[in-house]
Amino acid sequence: MVELLKLIESYGDAPAFKNLAGENSFEVTYRQYLNKMKACAYNLQQTFGDLTGKHIGIMADSNYEYTVILGAVLFSRGVLVPVNFFETPENIEAAIYRSDLDGFIVEEKYREKAVGNFTIADKDEILKEGNGSIELKDFTEEEKNNLALIIFTSGTTGLSKGVMLSVKNLLGFEATGHNSDYSEDAKGAAGLRIYNVFPFYHVAGIVGWLYRIEQRATTYLSADPRNVLSDLEGEQIDVGLVTPGIMNLWETCIKKGNMDLLGGLKLVLTGGAKPDVDVINTFLSNGIGFGQYYGLTEASGNITCNFDIANHLESVGRMVDGCEVVFIDGEICIKYYGVMLGYYKDPEGTAEILDEDGTLHTGDLGYLDEDGFLYITGRKKNLIILSSGENVSPEELEKYAYGCPAVKECKVFANNDRINIEVFCEQDAQEEVKNHIAEINKKLPIFKRIYNVEFRDEEFEKTELGKIKR
């Protein structure tokens, strides 16, 4: 069991966070961070009583203060339930109602979204120092199976599900930044300055938070995420942990000769939606390394990483240490210490994805190459099954469609037993897109051919990680 509190205490005055806010930017040392966490734990106890086993929700901006609350709830033995304020009203209501909250910590501007029969606490009041302090303790081996977190997935279909993660899932093993196949030191982050945009209501944000603390890295955060293109000017960072959407913005900066806006970036890391190959090459050709993670909430985050982009550009990488992959009817399945306890109060949903022996079905289709690199070819759920019995992968056809530079976004679907595609592009490029689809059809078997092309004048609705909702 990782003794995170002991590590934080040992780091003393090393910088833990830098909050980027222009002239109002400031640093927080690990010593200060631990003291803030203890003060927060005291306020939590005064507000909600003994937190042991209580479900405590949080809806707030994703900044370093969020992680203070996260740590205070976790080490007070509460169960944290992050709620994504960007979600639809239906998903927010479902997350609040279905997670059996005992209390809810809310930032004032999101107060009207917090409706339910529980104690509501103002985020700023919970963070006040000077009221008192509680000594927090690291987890013991006997507590490894305790529920620590209920985090709601942001799927591309239907209502979110509450993924239950245990103490073992979060702290049972030392976190690694990449597979040991790439380096004898699979940690490799001590003292690094890492800029992060992944929100702390997302598993990538939470697992990344733990990893950076374990490795004594300094986390750089934008106080206002809208300033992602200005906050790093004049700063010096080593790594950018960002979404593909931010990569696109940074690529524009590179092409315009504004490299100074990237803060001396040496390595960019991403996950979630797959980045564009041309965008990746822009970074590589300008001396910035690239790495990609693939994972899912149900596995506590990353299950593969790819730092060998030069030779495996289309791959999501090799399995992280301790993760075993098996293929069942073409589906990627894993056995791993990070596999969730299950979906909260949803045994039927849990049984659909988690076998009795602990094997987790990812829902993704794929294969391993001879070097052990994993490739994803589509989603099992997204497979279109025609009346002829033929299976069609939408992702395969969408990949072909993106071969046309005019296609900004697209989504393949079935209508009346025939394949259709909806495309977002400039109006004057529609004829070019139609011609491209016609050329694709010439090379496809009859059952895969696209019979109808529809156009839209705005982007598709997406998850917070940039995946198009289906």
How do residues 59-68 score in pLDDT, each as one tens digit?
999 999 999 9
User: What tokens does 126 get?
Assistant: 């919970």
239, 194 Cβ separation under 8 angstroms: yes
Q: Is the pLDDT of residue 137 over 60?
A: yes
User: What tokens does 414 get?
Assistant: 């079935």
pLDDT (0 to 100) of residue 158: 57
The pLDDT confidence band at residue 182, using thresholds 50, 70 and 90, is very low
| Residue of higher predicted confidence among 116 and 286 | 286
Question: Per the domain annotation, does 470 fall within a domain?
Answer: no
pLDDT digits (tens, 9 = 90+) for 236-247: 999 999 988 899
Lowest mean pLDDT among 196-200, 243-247, 288-292, 406-410: 243-247
pLDDT (0 to 100) of residue 217: 94
DSSP output for 251-320:
HHHHHTT-GGGGTT--EEEE-SSPPPHHHHHHHHHTT-EEEEEEEEGGGTEEEEEE--TTT-TT--BEEP
pLDDT (0 to 100) of residue 91: 81
Question: Per the domain annotation, does 412 fall within a domain?
Answer: yes
Question: Per the domain annotation, does 1 fall within a domain?
Answer: no
Q: Is the pLDDT of residue 183 over 50?
A: no
Question: Per the domain annotation, does 461 fall within a domain?
Answer: no
Smallest Cα–Cα separation from 205: which of 277, 154, 261?
Answer: 154
Q: How many CB atoms lie within 10 A of CB 304?
A: 24
The pLDDT confidence band at residue 462, using thresholds 50, 70 and 90, is confident
Question: Per the domain annotation, does 151 fall within a domain?
Answer: yes
Q: What is the CATH number of the domain that holds 369?
A: 3.40.50.12780
Last residue of a domain, one of 169, 195, 227: 169
Helices (H) and strands (E) in the chain, counts: 12, 25
Question: Per the domain annotation, does 11 fall within a domain?
Answer: no
| Residue of higher predicted confidence among 379 and 196 | 196
Last residue of a domain, one of 152, 169, 186: 169
Assess whether 41 and 132 both reside in one domain.
Answer: yes
Assess whether 184 and 275 both reside in one domain.
Answer: yes
For residue 97, give the DSSP letter.
Answer: H
Query: Based on the structure, what is the number of domains in the chain?
Result: 3
pLDDT digits (tens, 9 = 90+) for 91-101: 889 899 999 99
The pLDDT confidence band at residue 187, using thresholds 50, 70 and 90, is low
Assess whether 267 and 319 both reside in one domain.
Answer: yes
Question: Per the domain annotation, does 4 fall within a domain?
Answer: no
| Residue of higher predicted confidence among 212 and 174 | 212
Q: What is the CATH number of the domain that holds 48?
A: 3.40.50.980
Assess whether 364 and 257 both reside in one domain.
Answer: yes
Q: What is the mean pLDDT of residues 175-202?
A: 71
pLDDT (0 to 100) of residue 383: 81
Assess whether 370 and 239 both reside in one domain.
Answer: yes
Assess whether 410 and 330 both reside in one domain.
Answer: no
Q: Is the pLDDT of residue 444 over 80?
A: yes
Average pLDDT, the chain: 91
Q: How far apart are CA 156 and CA 55, in angstroms?
A: 26
The pLDDT confidence band at residue 153, using thresholds 50, 70 and 90, is confident
pLDDT digits (tens, 9 = 90+) for 205-251: 999 999 999 999 999 999 998 899 999 999 999 999 998 889 989 99
Tell me the whole-structure pTM to 2 decimals: 0.84
Last residue of a domain, one of 129, 152, 169: 169
pLDDT (0 to 100) of residue 184: 44
Q: How far apart are CA 263 and CA 221, in angstroms?
A: 13
Assess whether 206 and 325 both reside in one domain.
Answer: yes
- The percentage of residues in the chain with a pLDDT greater than 90, rounded to a whole number, is 76
The pLDDT confidence band at residue 389, using thresholds 50, 70 and 90, is low
Q: From the CA atom positions of the chain, what is the Rg in Å?
A: 23
Assess whether 330 and 189 both reside in one domain.
Answer: yes
Q: What is the mean pLDDT of residues 251-255?
A: 95
The pLDDT confidence band at residue 185, using thresholds 50, 70 and 90, is very low
Assess whether 32 and 107 both reside in one domain.
Answer: yes
pLDDT digits (tens, 9 = 90+) for 110-121: 999 998 889 999
- Domain range for residue 288? 174-336+350-381
- The percentage of residues in the chain with a pLDDT greater than 70, rounded to a whole number, is 94
Question: Per the domain annotation, does 130 fall within a domain?
Answer: yes
